Structure 1
Amino acid sequence: MNSFDNVTEKRPKNKRDTFFYNLWRQKNVCKDLLHDQVDIFHGLTGEIPLGIRKTGIPVVVTIHDLIFLRFPKFYSFIDYKIHKYKAQYAVNNADMVVAVSEQTKQDIIDFFGIDAEK
């Protein structure tokens, strides 16, 4: 058995969700996760679907950096707000947060007040 046989990338199952991919990814994916009896959800890009906590599925999120908080002048106001909201929602609602570096870990602690053990 390949060590990746139990890992599956989720994709939209119908044309509507494919057309409205971002909506599916941010919210509607939760229905598919429940239907497919997913054991754990891992948000690989610093975000997790809205409402995933209601599914009871354990959640892990990987945060690569918080550059938009360190250097907000390089982002438009709306991009800054969107990135900040998604990252804050993710770290607050995930069961575990993976930081790709010690600096990112410290930024998560400093900017969002997340316990280092999480």
Structure 2
Amino acid sequence: MRAAFLRALPLRSQHIQIRLLQTAAEAASTVSYTRGLFLGVNNAERAFPYPKVSVEEQETLQLLVTSVAKYFENVDSKQIDEKKKIPDETLNELKELGLFGLQIEEQWMD
């Protein structure tokens, strides 16, 4: 799309447009993640710079993400939205997956 836009401009305007895009990209690389989004650049490395996650933790997280994604393939989210209540069965299964322990201290789980 950008290439089509540039072809429609006179040559001088193309050079100006290219320079503006380069300037915006350079500026976006030095600003916060959110500001970069407004400038049209995704600075993903700025989104979550901390904490550094060890390889072992990454593997554990990947297992968790995979199991949760698989679980939610069978959850009827439309029904939950319509009833405006998460069924007790779903909450119990989320507990079994260990998801409550991620945000809810163990003392509140029973």
Higher share in strand: 1
Higher share in helix: 2
Q: Quick check: TM above 0.5? A: no
Query: RCO higher in 1 or 2 (8 Å CA, sep ≥ 6)?
Result: 1
TM tier, smaller: under 0.3
TM-score, normalising length from structure 1? 0.25
